[in-house]
Structure 1
Amino acid sequence: MARASAPAVELEVAGRTVRISSPTKVYFADRGLTKLDVVQYFLSVGDGILRALKDRPTTLERWPGGFFEGATLSTRADHRGDAFYSKRVPQGAPDFVESVAITFPSGRPADEVCPTELAVVAWAANLGTLRFHPWPVTSADVDHPDQLRIDLDPQPGTDFSDAASVAPRLREVLQEFGMDGHPKTSGGRGLHVYVPIEPNATFVQARRAVIALGRELERRMPEAVTTSWWKEERGERIFVDFNQMARDRTMASAYSVRPNSRATVSAPLTWDEVPLVGPEDFDVLSMPARFAEVGDLHAGLDGPRYDIAPLLELSERDERDRGLGDLPYPPEYPKMPGEPKRVQPSRDTDRHREAPGDVERADH
């Protein structure tokens, strides 16, 4: 006989009542964590998670069965996974869950969850949301990013420590262009750096700015950094994933929970902490005490915003003086103006006939 689930509980969240169904359902068996534990974790870092999501279109990564060994996330090609992305407001959402209209690269529109208060986070966690994926825009202007998001992604043979060793040089480059960033762990092996910017550039321009940053970093650390979109060319280096700045490509927010046996979380860091920590240092059990001690280290994202014009000038110089134009978009995207061929180099039979500067540039 199946064991009856525990009755639902109601939590008071900033003046709202949020119902938590099956509160004792195990979400992370190795850590002994239940659904209610996960909801209460998010509430314990409430100011931080809400700052990361507030007024932003947000995709929900839902794991309704929790994490277990062998669990998989559904993909565009295979929908049979145990978890899935929710890019539209789920049916039956309470009235306090607001939405914002966004447009995917395909041109299709959608009404996506747009958190405005902490109760929305608790409601989403009750649906099994472990990772929140906010767009780098606000509901006030969904077409112009207000953040550059730089993903230092370790490739096979490298790990978090390698990404951490690149971070100081990235900060150096940013500062030379009159900017500074805010680092965080990804919850896994990677390192993310967010830069608050004036919302006066398109997604295309913001992506080109990140490409320019990545190329400059690659020039300074050629043995450690790559901007090659093709895995066969990356080697054992840190990949600056510029396509994370493309429309509808998002990173898990600060304080999101990674679906792994340890229940690690994405933790904002100071620059001084970057070389001293590892992703395993921050999880659902340890983060509440850290948050109570240091607060939200990403609060500075609400501070001064930078103009990306100098990075766009660097991008133009790269193209004019070095023949370095655009780089490929992800395969599911429509072909973009000025984009090179999306052909794996080892399969590009006429690559030797195409010089880097041969691709026609489009003005954006």
Structure 2
Amino acid sequence: MAGDAVVITVPGPHGDREVRISSPGRVLWPQLGITKLDLANYFVAVGDAFVRANGDRPVSLQRFPDGIDGEQFFSKNPPRGAPDYVRSVMVVYPSARSHPQLVIDEPAAAVWAVQMNTVVFHPWPSRAEDSDNPDQLRIDLDPQPGTDFGDAIPAAVELRAVLREAGLEAFIKTSGNRGLHVFAPIEPTHEFLEVRHAVIAAARELERRMPEKVTTAWWKEERGERIFVDFNQANRDRTMAGAYSPRALAHAPVATPIAWEELATTDPRTHTVLTIPERLATVGDPWESFGEKPGTIDVLLDWWQRDLDDGLGELPFPPDYPKMPGEPPRVQPSRAKKV
């Protein structure tokens, strides 16, 4: 119905914006009864921290028109009817094709995305004005079957030490699911492939130190009960849920920045759409200083070259990528042995 809408006021850097939310009572998280309007109000509450972490970046929207249990799709193109305070930027995909992607510059843009049924926000690790050169090094610690969030904690602590030895300051957040995301601000002086190589170098060093606990094995059959260091999240057009982005899981979790001092005792299931506004109001934003002291990946690239000299080569790329120079065959080992 035309009258089934509300208008909410969203403060921002250019003053208040009035954002219309249609179907405000639509339930997005059935288990908790969290509605579209609830989600819009969540972004009003966390807007400053969300934009600080994800703003000025190309972003993909994961949209759920009928709630998280219904169909979903990704919007990489800016949806039609975007207000004038929502801009886009041209980016280049792995196929070499160029296309515009949405950029969020203020909380009202995130609330408008909620109006378009967005639940999860996936920002690039690069800035809109320099999208080819990441200013964030990102590493995904992904628990495999037989492991859980608790197993990712010691891996994250040791990874922090590895990055510190490479001259980088690491920040951490929950993934919103079972894993952990470790980020480091870097100077945007290297393109995606070089940053990927830096991530692989750090991942291999972590694997050397914790061989029974972590793995860089791309093929699942080789990972065992270890934490997978997902180096392919460093590729162009590969993204993870942004800081303070909700996830489309039943308990409405949020990918939440935490202080390193919290890591040993944090329970990711308690960081939800319902709890994060209060957490920000009382604890503050552990990532508020993110980016103030960017480092370089020079040391990690030296490690990458060292490993190349020692016979360790390129690792597999995602299956939808074009074949890359030096890449090993894209066939899982158990099948390759039968050839």
Check whether TM > 0.5. yes
Q: Distance in 1 between matches of 2:273 and 2:2?
A: 23
What is aligned with 1:37? 38
Q: Distance in 2 between matches of 1:347 and 1:31?
A: 44
Q: Distance in 2 between matches of 1:41 and 1:100?
A: 26
Structure 1 residue 235: deviation in Å? Answer: 0.4
Structure 1 residue 299: deviation in Å? Answer: 1.6
> 1:13 corresponds to which letter in structure 2?
V
Q: Map 1:101-116 onto structure 2 (within 5 A).
A: 101-116=90-105
Extract structure 1 runs of 4+ deviating beyond 6 A.
Answer: none
Q: Distance in 1 between matches of 2:313 and 2:289?
A: 33
What is aligned with 1:248? 237
Structure 1 residue 302: deviation in Å? Answer: 2.5
SS of the residue corresponding to residue 299 of structure 1 reads coil
Q: Map 1:275-354 onto structure 2 (within 5 A).
A: 275-321=264-310, 323-349=311-337
Give yes or no for contact 1:5–1:24 (8 Å, CA) kept in 2. Answer: no
Structure 1 residue 349: deviation in Å? Answer: 3.8
Q: Distance in 1 between matches of 2:277 and 2:322?
A: 42
Q: Distance in 1 between matches of 2:208 and 2:200?
A: 12
Give yes or no for contact 2:172–2:260 (8 Å, CA) kept in 1. Answer: yes
> 2:148 corresponds to which letter in structure 1?
D
Note the residue ranges of structure 1 that are not aligned, 5 or more in a row: 72-81, 352-364
Structure 1 residue 156: deviation in Å? Answer: 0.6
Q: TM-score, normalised by structure 2?
A: 0.96
Give yes or no for contact 2:47–2:106 (8 Å, CA) kept in 1. Answer: no
> 1:55 corresponds to which letter in structure 2?
D
Q: Distance in 2 between matches of 1:6 and 1:295?
A: 38
Encode CA deviations 1:300-334: one digit per residue, 9 max, x unaligned. Answer: 2231000100000001001102x111101000000
Q: Distance in 2 between matches of 1:166 and 1:329?
A: 23
> 1:281 corresponds to which letter in structure 2?
T
Note the residue ranges of structure 2 that are not aligned, 5 or more in a row: none
Q: Distance in 2 between matches of 1:142 and 1:175?
A: 26
> 2:42 corresponds to which letter in structure 1?
Y
> 2:9 corresponds to which letter in structure 1?
E
What is aligned with 2:258? 269
Task: Name the % identity.
Answer: 53
Q: Confirm whether residue 222 of structure 1 aligns to residue 211 of structure 2.
A: yes
Give yes or no for contact 1:161–1:278 (8 Å, CA) kept in 2. Answer: no
Match of 1:177 among 135, 146, 166: 166
Give yes or no for contact 2:54–2:243 (8 Å, CA) kept in 1. Answer: no
Give yes or no for contact 1:47–1:296 (8 Å, CA) kept in 2. Answer: no
> 1:328 corresponds to which letter in structure 2?
P
Give yes or no for contact 1:226–1:237 (8 Å, CA) kept in 2. Answer: yes
Give yes or no for contact 1:182–1:195 (8 Å, CA) kept in 2. Answer: yes
What is aligned with 2:89? 100
> 2:319 corresponds to which letter in structure 1?
P
Structure 1 residue 278: deviation in Å? Answer: 2.0
What is aligned with 2:121? 132
Q: Confirm whether residue 7 of structure 1 aligns to residue 8 of structure 2.
A: no
Structure 1 residue 350: deviation in Å? Answer: 8.2
Structure 1 residue 109: deviation in Å? Answer: 1.1
Q: Distance in 2 between matches of 1:106 and 1:16?
A: 38
> 2:332 corresponds to which letter in structure 1?
Q
Q: Distance in 1 between matches of 2:225 and 2:267?
A: 19
Structure 1 residue 5: deviation in Å? Answer: 8.7
Encode CA deviations 1:123-169: one digit per residue, 9 max, x unaligned. Answer: 00111111110000001211100000010000011111111121111
